[in-house]
Amino acid sequence: MRLSRLADYGTVVMGYMAGDPAAVHTATGISAAIGIAPPTVSKLLKILSRRGLLVSLRGSRGGYRLSRRPGRITVAEVVEAVEGTIALTECSGVMCRCSMEPGCTVQREWRQINRRLRGVLDGVTVADLARKRTRKGPSGRTPGAVAAKPDATVAVDHRS
């Protein structure tokens, strides 16, 4: 259930750009700032601009800029731009390849879960990704309980 690494990077890039929302950022500049290989960042930026999340400016002094205010671009949009879909299961659309009996109850629940997941991802904007915990951010929403807990308690097994 991991995000593709590219989608993960996508949020990092957008978070970085949201730190200076009006500026025009070049691929090489972003690459140097966040420590991801230039061709990879470039690939990502192309995708994000093709999907309308970024505006690209060609030529000398060109680069990329957020197409909207960072508080108006959600993580769901970023993930969807890179991955194409927000869904944990394949049986989330109308047709399902699995040969279960009609009215598969498992599928019904998964659709509900996928819908809720989208809600979660829609609840976080790229402005949130950029906002430092102590300083007050530029956009309206407040992180609330998010900033409270340093979260040193979680211990996750990363293997498979």
Counting contacts by CB under 7 A, is residue 20 touching DNA? Answer: no
3-state class (DSSP) for residue 80: helix
91, 98 Cβ separation under 8 angstroms: yes
Counting contacts by CB under 8 A, is residue 41 touching a copy of itself? Answer: no
Q: Which letter does DSSP use for residue 100 in this model?
A: P
Partner that binds at residue 53, options a copy of itself, DNA, none, CB closer than 5 to 8 Å by kind: none
Kindly tell me which of 50 and 116 has the beta carbon lying closer to DNA.
50
Site for a copy of itself in 80-99 (CB under 8 A): 83-94, 98-99
Give 36's contacts (C-beta < 8 A, 6+ positions apart).
9, 12, 13
Place of tokens 């904007």: 125
CA atoms of 10 and 13, how far apart (whole Å):
5
Q: Which of 11, 19, 34, 49 binds DNA (CB under 7 A)?
A: 49
Partner that binds at residue 42, options DNA, a copy of itself, none, CB closer than 5 to 8 Å by kind: DNA
Binding residues for DNA, per CB under 7 A?
Answer: 2, 4-7, 9, 25-28, 37-40, 42-43, 45-46, 49-50, 56-64, 160
